Structure 1
């Protein structure tokens, strides 16, 4: 299974509406964090964005420098139906690992857990590359035993610490207190800052 997580796999999941992770709105922990951001000019990336309700929430709350990236085209089409005025050049249909740009803030929401676990070190390297100095990676990780039965694949505080500690200052990594009901007790909220 984990070797088949390619573009056509994800396109088929969206076309066939096999998107059990899709909650239909911005997740509460990220919405709460977004509500505290004062600088609406920040350049923000949401990779592996799917239908990207977080990007919609940001856009509707005055953030205009948002980039939405997904390997599959269907969720980007779904997004533009909801937000027809969103700049098309800020919708990126590309492989995250080949994408080049730089951002102040990157949101992680069910992307890391959907990747083949063999790509986790490469994920950390690419996040570090995409962030500006002192840029932040903010989001949610699943907190349950790593499994081959994913996606989603799990992980632990120990694993996240060992993956990120060399390239990021780990400001927050703790159980999420406001996860949606279905994910309560299974999510960690984090704020990591790029080390120079």
Structure 2
């Protein structure tokens, strides 16, 4: 099982093994994005899957939203569902190869899907992808990290240690508005890149 191969994720989508897909934007991310004022900021949703967060932002008038996945199947589902979303903002590529920069990156079940050994690479890449003063925000699972996954868990302490060399952490707290199956098992976090 190679989690950094698109064929693994294509198979998950094509065989209906996408239990992480809740069919809509998650309540914590909806609450966060509903408080954003500037609808022209450049936003990335990485590992977007069926793209409910990107769709919600687009429907709310965020005019510079991008979604990324290296599995084609969910991107095709998204395009069929949201045909007016600009093709140029649907990125079918490996997150670790992206060389653009963004003002905001939304994390939703992407971090938990990559091999835990790739987490330092994720943090460094997120730092590269954000403009100075940008923000990475979203959800991280709060349950013991094991080899069983995805999804892979972790703890507030481990995430703090991982992110601190590259980011200032402004929020890392248990979600109050998770969907019921994830209640008490999600952390909402918000971090800004340090100047290195």
TM-score of the superposition, structure 1-length normalised?
0.98
Aligned to 1:64: 63
- Provide the residue aligned with 1:10 in structure 2: 9
> In structure 2, the residue corresponding to 1:11 is in which secondary structure?
helix
Residues 128-147 of structure 1: matches in 2 within 5 Å? 128-147=127-146
Structure 1 ranges of 4+ moved more than 3 A: none
8 Å Cα contact 2:3/2:113 also seen in 1: no
User: What is the CA–CA distance in structure 2 between the aligned matches of 1:79 and 1:97, rounded to whole Å?
Assistant: 22
Q: Is 2:189 aligned against 1:190?
A: yes
Unaligned runs of 5+ in 2: none
Aligned Cα root-mean-square deviation (Å): 0.8
Residues 174-189 of structure 1 aligned to structure 2 (within 5 Å):
174-189=173-188
Cα distance, 1:5 vs structure 2: 4.5
Distance 2:108 2:174 in 1: 15
Looking at structure 2, the residues matched to 151 and 44 of structure 1 have their Cα atoms a distance apart, in angstroms, of 25
Alpha-carbon offset, residue 4 of structure 1 = 4.7
Aligned to 2:147: 148
Aligned to 1:99: 98
Match runs of 1:25-174 below 5 Å:
25-174=24-173
**What residue ranges of structure 1 are gaps of 5+ in the alignment?**
none
TM-score (normalised: structure 2): 0.98
How far 1:145 moved relative to its partner?
0.3
Mapped partners of 1:52, 1:66: distance in 2 = 11
In the TM superposition, what is the alpha-carbon distance from 1:138 to its structure 2 partner?
A: 0.4
Whole-Å separation in 2 of the counterparts to 1:52 and 1:73: 12
**Contact 2:169 / 2:192 at 8 angstroms: preserved in 1?**
yes
Secondary structure at 2:18 match in 1:
coil
Q: Offset of 1:134 from its aligned partner?
A: 1.1
